[in-house]
């Protein structure tokens, strides 16, 4: 699959085939893709938590009402920000940087045949604090991404809208 195909086939999957284990080498490929994302001044303001524990994934559904797909997902990857790694002219760009890392996870998972759903935690402080406690991290839980074999094939929701493009030549 090429990147054009991966982008156009990617969907937010909310139902997964249960009982499927994602091989460690596939998880590692997703994490490598995340860490290849661009970041301000190459500060790489992130760390990741791989979640395969069913009880923890269920608790994530209690933190965010929009994370119910965790109940059937095979795993989840939390993208956590390290804002203090960015100083000077690089300071404050961690949300964009972590967003790029999250998108790389989605695209790598698509290429490997998995479905994903990006569940935001940041900037809702209550979710961030509860996720920090659950995941035992001091970093900022930016998003938790459900990963698994899709049990649904939703239609594309994104589309090209030329009305939202302005050319300056």
Give the separation between CA 6 and CA 98, rounded to whole angstroms.
20
143 with 119: CB under 8 angstroms? yes
- Which whole number is the average pLDDT over 151-159? 93
Give the separation between CA 123 and CA 143, rounded to whole angstroms.
10
pLDDT at position 162, please? Answer: 97
pLDDT at position 1, please? Answer: 80
Whether the model pTM is above 0.85: yes
pLDDT at position 77, please? Answer: 98
Using one digit for the tens of pLDDT, what is the confidence trace for 124-137?
999 999 999 999 99
Spatial CA neighbour of 112 closest among 4, 10, 42: 10
pLDDT at position 163, please? Answer: 97
Using one digit for the tens of pLDDT, what is the confidence trace for 17-65?
999 999 999 999 999 999 999 999 999 999 999 999 999 999 999 999 9
In degrees and rounded to multiples of 5, residue 56 shows phi and psi of -65, -40
- Give the long-range contacts of residues 29-36, CB within 8 A, separation 24 or more: 29/108, 29/112, 30/77, 30/105, 30/108, 30/109, 30/112, 30/147, 31/77, 31/105, 32/108, 33/104, 33/105, 33/107, 33/108, 34/77, 34/79, 34/101, 34/102, 34/104, 34/105, 34/108, 35/101, 36/104
Using one digit for the tens of pLDDT, what is the confidence trace for 65-116?
999 999 999 999 999 999 999 999 999 999 999 999 999 999 999 999 999 9
User: In sequence order, which residues have a C-beta less than 8 Å from that of residue 61 and are 6 or more positions away?
Assistant: 67, 68, 70, 71
Using one digit for the tens of pLDDT, what is the confidence trace for 157-166?
989 999 999 9
């Amino acid at each position: 699959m090429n990147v054009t195909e991966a982008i156009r086939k990617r969907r937010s999957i909310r139902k997964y085939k249960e009982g499927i284990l994602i091989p460690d080498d596939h998880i590692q490929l997703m994490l490598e893709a995340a860490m290849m994302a661009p970041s301000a001044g190459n500060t790489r303001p992130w760390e990741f938590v791989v979640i395969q524990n069913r009880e923890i994934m269920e608790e994530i559904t209690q933190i965010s009402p929009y994370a119910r797909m965790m109940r059937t997902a095979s795993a989840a990857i939390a993208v956590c920000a390290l804002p203090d790694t960015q100083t000077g002219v690089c300071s404050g760009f961690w949300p964009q940087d972590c967003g790029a890392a999250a998108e790389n996870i989605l695209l790598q998972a698509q290429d490997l045949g998995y479905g994903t759903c990006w569940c935001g935690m940041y900037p809702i402080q209550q979710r961030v604090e509860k996720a920090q406690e659950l995941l035992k991290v001091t970093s900022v839980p930016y998003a938790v991404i459900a990963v698994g074999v899709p049990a649904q094939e939703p239609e594309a929701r994104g589309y090209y809208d030329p009305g939202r493009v302005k050319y300056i030549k």
